[in-house]
Structure 1
Amino acid sequence: MKLPINLVPVKKITSNVSQSKFSADDIQRIANLILETEGVINPIILRRTGLESYEVIAGHLEYHSAVKAREISPLKGEMIQAIILEDSNEKAILEQIEKLRTHPSSFEELMDEHQLEIINIFQDQIQIKLDQNRKEIFDDLKNFLEDHYASLETKITPSNTSANAIDVSAIEEILRQQEERIIKQVQSRGNSDETVSEVLSNELSEKLQNQISTLEVLHEENVKTILQLKIELQKAGKKPIDRVTKLIQDLNSLDREQILNKLSECGFKKKDAESIVTKILSARESQKFSSLKDIANRKVMSEARIISLLDIWQ
């Protein structure tokens, strides 16, 4: 009895094993190899379910990779090598499958088969690595931000809760969310201890810049206001202070038309200018403005707009 290898259309085949059981990277890599070599080295085993339809008995990974290959190149990936079970050979083929394809023949297969047990065994080591990487990222963030905002003399400490402090809890939350994602990823893959270390290192390193960007967005208005004021002071000596004083005095004393004209000269659209003037007049009725921060706190204008006015207010 000779085992014939047939070319079977991929679209005629189904599998009762979900594609999600396998690594998407592995499927993509094998699909590319199938297209490159125009076939698989291990024919899949099929059983007929109809006149021209089949189901996979063994070789589910090869099948899903062939499906991906057909998506990439419908012509080159149209067919796949297969052995079809027949009455005359079914018993012998199934016995071969049991002996050759269901027992782990390598360390990697053994690891895959017992991935849940491995995760449980190495849970403590995984947690240690998570804690180590978490501390490294926090230290990197701290050093980066201290250097980046050194001109503002900003210090990152858990006890620093002043108005201009960087919110450490925001960093903690970012790290916590990242940690949860990595734990889920590790558990879903069933990686060994060495692979877990690589996953953590790569994931955390790749996300570091994103975490920094997220942190800066959280504090964009506050940091930008302080930074721009400091730049103005450094560039023009005492002149920015004079501009600040003049702006506050004008907003406290000028009438509606005068403020409208000044805002118009500064490039504000009529509708925006009228809205701002209404807020100014309403806010100063109860109490005069005492500082730029006071103007922003009373929702007259954003800090960014106030800063932009300092350069052009006459």
Structure 2
Amino acid sequence: MKKLFPSLVAVKRITSTVPRSNFADAELEKLARLILDSGGLINPIIVRRNGMDAYEIVDGYFEYYAAVRAKEIESLKGETIGAFILEEENEELLLQQLEILRKTAITENLVENPETGFLYDNTSSQPADSIKNPVSWVEVPNLCENQTPQESSTLEQRLTSIEAQFASQINELKAEYAREQKVLAQSIQEFENRILQQVPLLVEAGLANRINELKSESPPEKPVVVERIPEVENVTSESMSALEALNTLTKSELLANFKDAGLKSHMIDSIITERKVQQFVSFTSAVKRIDGLGEKTMIKIIDKWHKYS
């Protein structure tokens, strides 16, 4: 037979047939705080397996509910509880040991009143016979297979126990949901941070690609707005010849060619003076620079030069 050592068992894996309401909330709260402050329970409970990673309390109901309360206060600190696990090879011997310890604990709390002859619980003023549920016996159910169930194992008590188990599981689910929500919020924040870091890089890369595309594209050919007509080209050519005449002909030649067009002698003198400073680059510049030379006269000069040159 292997030696008996306590194990750490998850509180949420343990069930109890004794309801939590059998114990004072104030006492459970006090012991729960002590468990958290001291980092554990000095009195391991006793459990037996009743499924895959599931356990049922055999002894230590009060300690168990104090551990449940500790887990409700601080879930991380109160996740486990020290427990002796009954195995097939040691269960019978351990149950016998437990029964003796229980009887001894009851006897130590009972004293005889010399006046009445009744046995009294030294922790209260009631006769032993009038104590309906001594604390020691409340925790005795299921000590052995042949034991008769006590009145505490009524349907109402079982329903209360189930209600307590549901409440405990709901609290566990709430705590787990809060943890998962926190993890999800952190993941979302990290994802947003990564996006914010990547956006400037993506924008810069997109702009660089667009610039490269624009550089690689050849400039479009300018559309032909006016169809090239031979007559227009001839007029333009003759107009350029007239402009060249203004820049090169002598005074007498200008007077002979353009007198009928309205070009006066003083205008010719101005043309010769201005073209010495800078030759005319267009008919418009000539009109602006020559006093008395208007647009109508310039048109007559161009038309005359076109007809007779």
TM-score range, shorter chain: 0.3 to 0.5
- When you count helix as a share of all residues, which structure comes out higher? 1
Query: Over alpha carbons, which structure has the higher Rg?
Result: 2
Q: TM-score, normalized by length of structure 1?
A: 0.35
Structure showing greater relative contact order (alpha-carbon pairs closer than 8 Å, 6 or more residues apart)? 2
